[in-house]
Amino acid sequence: MSLIATSLDDSAGLMAAKLRAGRKRPGHAIDSYFYRSPRVYETELSEIIFRSWLYAGHVSEMPAAGDYLLLEIGEDSLIIVRGDDGEIRALMNICRHRGARVCEGAAGNRKTFVCPYHGWVYNTDGSLKAAREMHMLEGFDAAGHGLKQARVVVYMGLIFINCDPDAADFNGPLQNLNDQLGAYDLARAKLAHKQTYTIAANWKLVLENYLECYHCATSHRAYSRSHTLKDVNHEAVDQAMLARTEAVTGVPGIGRHYEKTYGEAEGFACCVYTSRYGLYDGYVTGSKDGQPVAPLMGRIRAYDGGVGDFQMGPLTFMLNYPDHCVLYRFIPRDLNSTDMEVAWFVRGDAVEGVDYDREKLTWLWHHTTLEDEYIITRNSAGVNSRFFEPGPYHPEFENDLQAFMSWYLATLAKSN
């Protein structure tokens, strides 16, 4: 991890002044202070990250009772587990006695979670099963000392969590994706591969990079050969594809656009977006040569030359091709480190080595993510320079980025 210098005067007053200055310059990148300040980072965690709906995993990763995986956010850890009753829960990985973590393995199966420090034992539903010798404490209530829990929403096999007990409803906004996302039958899909890329940069730089394709033509040559989104004039290709997409795929509504994100979201951080854009002629999917790499997904009957673009929450995105889907999730780990998880999904009955080759399936977005790591870390080095001066955003390519930044600054201003 690279280290950065921080201001000795990282006060509430300085943060307020920087927020006022940033909001007075809409259409421009933000000051380096927002990438360097520990005060800003802690405020982001409490006011944005831990109040947001975050992708935690897929139901196929925990088919049996006791199956779990860990979700690490900043310095915190959550256990995403399927209980004996079949319900999926998100348990805070913190013993209710003196705080030791009760689960260490990244994934596995447990009948109980046992604190390694003093031996308190928890059931998979989070309830306290045993607290050694605590009967000696008069009035000790085991029922009041279960593991704390976050809220959980399971939508089409995708598991989302929110650590805010008063979080806005996410199920309602997600229903606007029923036709478009439902085409892929993700609830019965197979997680073919997932990989975490830890980027030595502030989480906003990693997200900002995903929110714009201004860099695509110069930084992602393989992607740009097939995806029209890199072109400011891609609408003509998109319209031709959209005119045929329902007839070709056999899925009504698959190309319908919907967008309510950031400041326009139906509830705080309940971002929901979908559109379908075109691939260049001769390309039908997101692979090295643009040719099929897996069986068609869900209810899709044929290749229409398009790709579904989705956003669910502020930090989770999907690119869905007719034969596979690619999910991106961004999670801050510290001020200058971000976990970018990429997950590849295929049809539920697809067999590796028979129906798909994992290397061919993952090539394009693994390759593209490594290119992203290169440019993001250099972006980080630049914005952390004392000589950095924020420049103007591109009015079209960086439009989504501007929407995020406007929401981001307004959210921090309300808390300061």
What string of DSSP letters covers 311-335? EESSSEEEEEETTEEEEEEEEEEET
Alpha helices (H) in 211-292, listed in sequence order: 216-219, 221-226, 235-249
| Assigned CATH class of 54-154 | mainly beta
Collect all residues with Cβ–Cβ distance below 8 Å to 238 and sequence separation of at least 6. Answer: 228, 276, 277, 278, 306
Instruction: Report the distance separating Cα 42 and Cα 75, nearest Å.
Output: 11
Which of 68, 80, 101 lies closest to 162, judged by CA? 80
Instruction: Report the distance separating Cα 78 and Cα 114, nearest Å.
Output: 15
Strand 67-73 to 107-109 pairing: antiparallel
Residue 402: per-residue pLDDT: 96
Give the DSSP H/E element, type plus range, for residue 92: strand 88-92
Collect all residues with Cβ–Cβ distance below 8 Å to 387 and sequence separation of at least 6. Answer: none
SS3 38: helix
As to burial, measured by CB atoms within 10 angstroms (0-12 exposed, 13-18 middle, 19+ buried), residue 11 is exposed
Q: In what order do the strands lie in the sheet with 324-334?
A: 190-199, 337-346, 324-334, 316-321, 306-312, 272-278, 258-260
Instruction: Report the distance separating Cα 169 and Cα 162, nearest Å.
Output: 10
Instruction: Report the distance separating Cα 276 and Cα 300, nearest Å.
Output: 14
Q: Which residue's entry shows tokens 């993510």?
A: 369
Is the Cα torsion angle 85, 90, 96, 100 positive or negative in sign?
positive
- Contact assessment for residue 91 and residue 83, using Cβ atoms and an 8 Å cutoff: no
Instruction: Report the distance separating Cα 192 and Cα 352, nearest Å.
Output: 8
Instruction: Report the distance separating Cα 121 and Cα 77, nearest Å.
Output: 18
| Assigned CATH class of 169-415 | alpha beta
Model pTM score: 0.95
| Share of the chain residues as helix, strand and coil, in percent rounded to the nearest 5 | 30, 25, 40
Residue 367: per-residue pLDDT: 97
Q: What's 250's DSSP letter?
A: -
Strand 324-334 to 337-346 pairing: antiparallel
Residue 228: per-residue pLDDT: 87
Instruction: Report the distance separating Cα 80 and Cα 91, nearest Å.
Output: 6
Instruction: Report the distance separating Cα 317 and Cα 331, nearest Å.
Output: 12
Instruction: Report the distance separating Cα 325 and Cα 361, nearest Å.
Output: 10
- Domain extents for the chain? 54-154, 169-415
pLDDT mean values, one per 10 residues, the chain (416 residues): 66 94 95 96 98 98 98 97 97 97 97 97 98 91 96 98 97 98 98 98 98 93 88 76 96 97 97 96 97 98 97 98 98 97 98 98 98 97 94 92 97 92
